[in-house]
Amino acid sequence: MPETLGDRLKRVRTERGLGLRETAGKVGISATFLSRVETNAEQSAPSEDVLRKLAKVLEDDFDALMQLAGRVPKDVAAVIKGDPGMPEFLRTARDQNMSGEKLLKMLEDSKKKKGRS
């Protein structure tokens, strides 16, 4: 089974040696809520602000947590909303099985080539 947001939060927290209540306290949420998220019992995913704080406290990847929570970061949503060509670009990338990681690598490679020429 793929790792859920709760599985990941619990795994990373345990790897970092952080306690449940300690982590909840640092993030400013109740231990009950964090516990329910970790055990996949919570129906509503944590907000973007909470996930950002969790990523900071757990030294984890914010975008990965957002993706597992099924949320789109506000800044990314703004990019899509602000550029009419963006949805088509994303659909094309998806149809060509281009992952975000691959696209990023292509952009970096292209930047390097430009730098050399």
**By the criterion CB under 8 A, which residues form the site for another protein?**
10, 14, 17, 19-22, 30-32, 35-36, 38-39, 41
For residue 74, the minimal CB distance to another protein (Å) is 30
43's tokens: 């129906």
Q: Which is nearer to another protein, 15 or 109 (CB)?
A: 15
Q: Which is nearer to another protein, 18 or 72 (CB)?
A: 18
Stretch (H or E) spanning 103: helix 100-116
Q: Give the residue carrying structure tokens 């730098």.
A: 115
Q: Which is nearer to another protein, 30 or 47 (CB)?
A: 30
Give the C-alpha separation, 15 to 69, whole Å. 20
For residue 43, the minimal CB distance to another protein (Å) is 13
End-to-end CA distance of the chain: 47
In this structure, how many other beta carbons lie within 10 angstroms of the beta carbon of residue 82?
8
For residue 100, the minimal CB distance to another protein (Å) is 33
Q: Which is nearer to another protein, 29 or 103 (CB)?
A: 29
What residue type is assigned to position 116 of the chain?
R
